[in-house]
Structure 1
Amino acid sequence: MTHTGNDTARKTCEVDGIRMHYRTDGERSKPCLVLSNSLGTDLSMWDAQAAALAGDFFVVRYDTRGHGQSASGSAPFGIDRLGLDVVALLDHLDIARAAFCGISMGGLTGQWLGIQQPQRLTKLVLANTAARIGGTAPWQLRAEQVRRDGMAAVADGAAARWFTPQFLQRAPDTVARLVVTLRGQDAGGYAACCEVLAQADLHGCVGTIAVPTLIIAGEHDLVTTLDDARWLQQQIAGASLASLPASHISNIEAADLFTEQLRTFLV
């Protein structure tokens, strides 16, 4: 499949028997940058970065399996499936190698790619993530909760996990939009990804990542802490670390600083 010219559109493709929703921004001739969302969000979380970077990159963002307009397929699946979805999307677009930036769950996907598919990556950005995010039991309990009670069971407390109190006061409309997105997620798809996080533990192999890597952390992130980011930096040879004045969703809370770090690292 050949793509040329300015290719800004929402599209879908078939991956492993499911429909994956993605969007591209910018010229197909530019270097490719893939953006991967966090648990409970969708590709719109990257609006600020896509708008700022589409002049220099062919920006590809997608709804992770079970999120947004991407189907979940049959559960359970693991972090390998989320990584292979990215490989399949690159194959669909006929892109041999791309830079990849993932946040939180998307950062785990990025670690898997760096370990298992380094030949497909030019550079790797791991934002607000860890080699293991949380513990098995809490994720399993959350999966059971949303399957039983729906997304409202987790939506009410999400904003306080995602952002600092200062940002909640400063940008209530932005926060409200993200919470609406979370409420609208498919409960089964969200639960399946909770189960991915319950099992995904890359502590034993992140040290094999040899792709040039930038780690971005939020100074106030209580979900994936600055210590988690420092540990990743120590394991990945040559990795650099940027700390932003934000909590867990730093690409929104500190959008300009996040984009600046991305641009500086990727160019």
Structure 2
Amino acid sequence: MHMADLGDVRLHYRIDGPDDGAPVVFANSLGTDMRLWDPILPLLPAGLRILRYDKRGHGLSTCPTGPYAMGALVSDVEKLMDLHGFRDAFFVGLSIGGLIAQGLAVKRLDLMRAMVLSNTGAKIGTKQIWDDRIAGVKAGGIEALGDATMERWFSKAFLETPDLELWRNMLVRQQDDGYAGCSAAISGSDFFATTATLRLPTLGIAGSEDGATPPDLVRETVDLIPGSKFHLIRRAGHLPCVERPEEYASVLSDFMRATGHI
């Protein structure tokens, strides 16, 4: 666990694996911190050099005054990767992390060898949806959104398990201003035109029961990039790395091999 001082924000991050390992970067979803990836890390190939971090306003990172622009979120991970020599990385972005991935690929393709767009889109939701969510957070805190968010995030089967409480607790313990700030960044992002200019190995992953970014949205987004692949994880919602970690890790590992990353 470390903190990187990037000027207007200090980011909590962690690097695991050998210095000479194949670089992998994970960017997680709105309302979660870097622990989102814990279920899959032991299942990935040995010897990777893995960078995880908490977005601004999330986890143990600081929470600058919002609203945030997507450009700032992209710049945050760009600086973090430059700081630690992560070039030609295998970048996995989930939800808002997938928007960050698309923005970074357009800005700094030298940092990315391949990209995984998990449970995301070139544009997620509508301005009205995000305005309502921001208003809800300001009125009643993230707690007011907790139950509805769980229903969007998880399959019906997972909603009945005790582990649901872990993820609800993670959500509501994020900072209200950080959640609202990142919601504004999502609201202002439409990457359909720019993502269509990308030419790098890309894999889309969707959950069959995802109520936040349905499979058709993920497929539509990765189809913008010639030669991209798509994988549907059944009986999973918005966070398939939580519900189906073995399949998720297997799909990532296979794509690493297919792109010559390992």
TM-score of the alignment, normalized to the shorter chain, above 0.5: yes
Question: What does residue 260 of structure 2 align with?
Answer: none
Question: What does residue 20 of structure 1 align with?
Answer: 11
Query: Identity of aligned pairs, percent?
Result: 33
State whether structure 2 residue 169 is matched by structure 1 residue 185: no
In 2: Cα distance, 1:160 partner to 1:238 partner: 33
Question: What is the aligned residue count?
Answer: 256
- Amino acid aligned to 1:182: L
Question: What does residue 184 of structure 2 align with?
Answer: 195
Of 98, 108, 111, 1:117 maps to 108
- Amino acid aligned to 1:260: S
State whether structure 2 residue 211 is matched by structure 1 residue 227: no
Higher relative contact order (CA 8 A, sep 6+): 2
In 1: Cα distance, 2:85 partner to 2:119 partner: 29
- Amino acid aligned to 2:97: G
Cα displacement (A) at 1:54? 6.4
Of 136, 141, 144, 2:127 maps to 136
Q: TM-score normalized by structure 2?
A: 0.94
In 2: Cα distance, 1:16 partner to 1:187 partner: 22
In 1: Cα distance, 2:167 partner to 2:110 partner: 34
Cα displacement (A) at 1:259? 0.5
Q: TM-score normalized by structure 1?
A: 0.92
In 2: Cα distance, 1:99 partner to 1:47 partner: 17
In 2: Cα distance, 1:229 partner to 1:146 partner: 27
Question: What does residue 250 of structure 2 align with?
Answer: 260
Of 56, 70, 73, 2:64 maps to 73
State whether structure 2 residue 206 is matched by structure 1 residue 217: yes
Of 1, 23, 27, 1:36 maps to 27
- Contact 2:98-2:117 within 8 A present in 1 as well: yes
- Amino acid aligned to 1:64: K
In 2: Cα distance, 1:129 partner to 1:13 partner: 27
Name structure 1 gaps, 5 residues minimum: 1-9
State whether structure 2 residue 165 is matched by structure 1 residue 164: no
Cα displacement (A) at 1:146? 0.9
Question: What does residue 247 of structure 1 align with?
Answer: 237
* CA displacement, residues 31-52 of structure 1 (integer Å, 9 cap, x when unaligned): 1101111010100010022222
- Amino acid aligned to 2:113: T
In 2: Cα distance, 1:154 partner to 1:181 partner: 13
In 2: Cα distance, 1:180 partner to 1:46 partner: 16
* CA displacement, residues 131-161 of structure 1 (integer Å, 9 cap, x when unaligned): 1111001111211221222121111222111
Question: What does residue 5 of structure 1 align with?
Answer: none
* CA displacement, residues 50-83 of structure 1 (integer Å, 9 cap, x when unaligned): 2222623111111111111111323222111111
Name structure 2 gaps, 5 residues minimum: 258-262
2:149 is paired with a residue whose SS is helix
In 1: Cα distance, 2:113 partner to 2:219 partner: 22
- Amino acid aligned to 1:258: Y
- Amino acid aligned to 1:237: P
* CA displacement, residues 203-255 of structure 1 (integer Å, 9 cap, x when unaligned): 12111111211110111212211111221232101100011011111111111
In 1: Cα distance, 2:96 partner to 2:26 partner: 12
Question: What does residue 6 of structure 1 align with?
Answer: none
